[in-house]
Structure 1
């Protein structure tokens, strides 16, 4: 039976090692996202997240508040809100985001909606088309801190001239930050981004 306990111990050590890796990678993503500094740009691009009807989730509201602050401070002169309608949502994320921005004093005419996307790659692919159509050359990508490194890596792959501004995440979002580790690895394996540490 000694082999059984040795195998059990080895599995436990491997599981603990995997957990430590995930936690450290998630913390590194958050740190990298918070370290980004926006440059004055033509447009801010707010990436979507879950919205309950027209009530944005806490992470989404945090992203929108960052966009409002950047607009009021003159860092951006327009905003693109990017997000389609998920299976568990009753309105497109972009519609909810625009409504939130307008209700908080942002002029409706400077907010452009992108309602087709269902993931980060599509967010930025469709957004880059809107930028070309409207003559916007530069962008500040606005999303949660742990999500920002992947978003910027995708933007580079798409040839976008972009800086970033990460909305500070809360402890309650840590599970989302851990899921982001898997998404980051998936995008690397699929060739949809370069490693964020090569920026």
Structure 2
């Protein structure tokens, strides 16, 4: 193989990779901005950071969205996910449940899983609740840029899942969206390759 041919092949591969990355990033962005109007048995709320006993602003908006879905009758149950990020904090799911109860959600309509630390674990553990209670359709509640990967994971785990992006996401400025989009694009490819 000549040096010129090698360089051509290398540049072609790099170009193809860049196109794949760019098209995936665009797909992630557009997917999270599509809001299907669906009713489901349950909303699965993906965990986010907590501040001791209170949800962080990002998590709070996810909880607000889930409670709004519940109050509108779009879902009848809410599943909160997420374990302990710091030993001095309550599990994310417990903080989510407590906050939702304060917002008027009945305790008996809330389920929690408190062992997960990643999106995949969130959904795997939530899937056990879904299976046990024979829920047939679920809405995945998270920030818009998180949803393409999360819904793919949920469906791969056997959940009949649909996106329900948080309309009041804290990631609204370009400055906050770009790092989130870059991270999600990276983790989307990681999931496609390694299924984690």
Q: What range is the shorter-chain TM-score in?
A: 0.7 to 0.9
- SS of the equivalent of 2:131 reads helix
Q: Which residue of 1 aligns with 2:191?
A: 187
Give 1:65 deviation, angstroms. Answer: 1.1
Task: Structure 2 unaligned segments of length 5 or more: list them.
Answer: 1-13
Structure 2 residue 155 is the aligned partner of structure 1 residue 156: yes
Q: Which whole-Å CA distance do the structure 1 matches of 2:23 and 2:56 have between them?
A: 26
Deviations 1:61-98 (A, max 9, x none): 11111101111111100100011111476111001111
Q: 149, 173, 176: which is aligned to 1:173?
A: 176
Any conservation in 2 of the 1:50–1:89 contact (CA below 8 Å)? no
Deviations 1:27-81 (A, max 9, x none): 5423211203142111110000111112212221111111011111111001000
- SS of the equivalent of 1:160 reads coil
Give 1:22 deviation, angstroms. Answer: 7.1
Q: Which whole-Å CA distance do the structure 1 matches of 2:53 and 2:181 have between them?
A: 24
Give 1:135 deviation, angstroms. Answer: 2.2
What TM-score do the two structures reach when normalised by structure 2? 0.80
Query: How large is the Cα RMSD of the aligned pairs?
Result: 2.4
Q: Which residue of 2 aligns with 1:68?
A: 67
Task: Structure 1 unaligned segments of length 5 or more: list them.
Answer: 1-13, 193-199
Paired residues, number: 176
Q: Give the direction of change, closer, same or farther, for the CA distance of 1:21–1:159 in structure 2 (3 Å limit).
A: closer
Q: Which whole-Å CA distance do the structure 1 matches of 2:88 and 2:184 have between them?
A: 21
Give 1:176 deviation, angstroms. Answer: 2.6
Q: Which whole-Å CA distance do the structure 1 matches of 2:104 and 2:29 have between them?
A: 29
